[in-house]
Structure 1
Amino acid sequence: MMTLMDETFAAVTPERRRRDAVTLLAMMREITGEEPIVDRGIVGFGTYHYRYASGREGDAPAAAFAPRKAAMSIYLPDGIGAHADALAELGPHTSGVGCLYVKDLSACDLGVLRRIVETSYRTVIDGVFGNRARES
């Protein structure tokens, strides 16, 4: 019987993306100490509570990734800007406000990626996080 995780990973193409998903799964499990939860193709670990100055609040994964066809999306809820120095050392990637996009993890420095994910995770689980990713 296939689990939701098995189904999610079985559907990932190309093969390189599936390999990278397995690598990130192990890395984020180790960093967070949490078991993954799959929701709409996003693999999340732990949760954090956010509350913005506007009054909007909610809960979101504290660390997460999504194996997309074009690139691996790695979610950094504290924002890309918070990791500018480390990103300069990472290797080939692109980014959005709160997402890091990597086409091939084997071309990146996994130690640097680990530091980025650990820092982001620790930042958001350390109480109520009040910034929006674009504010970082």
Structure 2
Amino acid sequence: MYELKTKENDKSVLAFIEKVDSKTKQEDAFRLLDIFTEATGYQAKMWGESIIGFGAYHYKYKSGHEGDAPLVGFSPRKAKISLYFATGDTQREDLLKDFGKHTTGKACVYINKVADIDVDVLKALITQSVTFLNETYPKNKA
């Protein structure tokens, strides 16, 4: 059976951010920590080795695959900062039109730095993602 590698753990979020090599990315990570905490009302937790997540939900797909994941999160990666939002939320695309400089993947939105984006749109993306996941998976464990 497949086992998720990215699980919530008790590692220190602040210690993780303090180890980020780039001073600019480190400063952006602290700023994102404040933004995500304020927008969600959840305490930041480490998920795996490098994802800072907020809240949690339990998902179960039709295939039978299930697990736990953060409602939203981010990771200050070497190349770009990854922002994690709900997949399948059609409102995400509308919000991203006014977000600023970014690229997207299936579940991630990638930015170079916080200065490139509209923070109010980021807050709206966070709130929308949390709402969407709480509605999609109503037995939220967070």
Asked whether the two chains share a fold, i.e. TM above 0.5, the reply is yes
The match for 1:16 is 24
The match for 2:7 is none
2:130 aligns with one of 117, 121, 125: 121
1:28 aligns with one of 32, 36, 48: 36
Task: Report the secondary structure of 1:83's partner residue.
Answer: helix
Tell me: higher relative CO, structure 1 or 2? Use CA pairs within 8 A at least 6 residues apart: 1
- Structure 2 gaps, min length 5: 1-10
RMSD: 1.8
Percent identical: 34
Does the CA-based 8 Å contact 1:43-1:64 persist in structure 2?
yes
Higher helix share: 1
- Structure 1 gaps, min length 5: 130-136
The match for 1:83 is 92
State TM-score, norm by structure 2.
0.81
1:69 aligns with one of 74, 78, 101: 78
Does the CA-based 8 Å contact 2:40-2:126 persist in structure 1?
no
Mapped pair 1:93 → 2:102: yes
| Runs of 4+ residues deviating >3 angstroms | 79-82
State TM-score, norm by structure 1.
0.84
1:95 is displaced (CA, Å) by 0.9
Cα deviation, 1:62-117, whole Å, max 9, x if unaligned, reads 11111111111000123475411211111110110000001011121110111011
Which whole-Å CA distance do the structure 2 matches of 1:122 and 1:104 have between them?
25
The match for 2:117 is 108
Task: Report the secondary structure of 2:130's partner residue.
Answer: helix
Which whole-Å CA distance do the structure 1 matches of 2:136 and 2:96 have between them?
25
State the number of aligned residues.
127
- Which runs of structure 2 are paired with 1:35-74 in the superposition (5 Å)? 35-39=43-47, 40-74=49-83
Residue type of the alignment partner of 1:51: K
Residue type of the alignment partner of 1:41: S
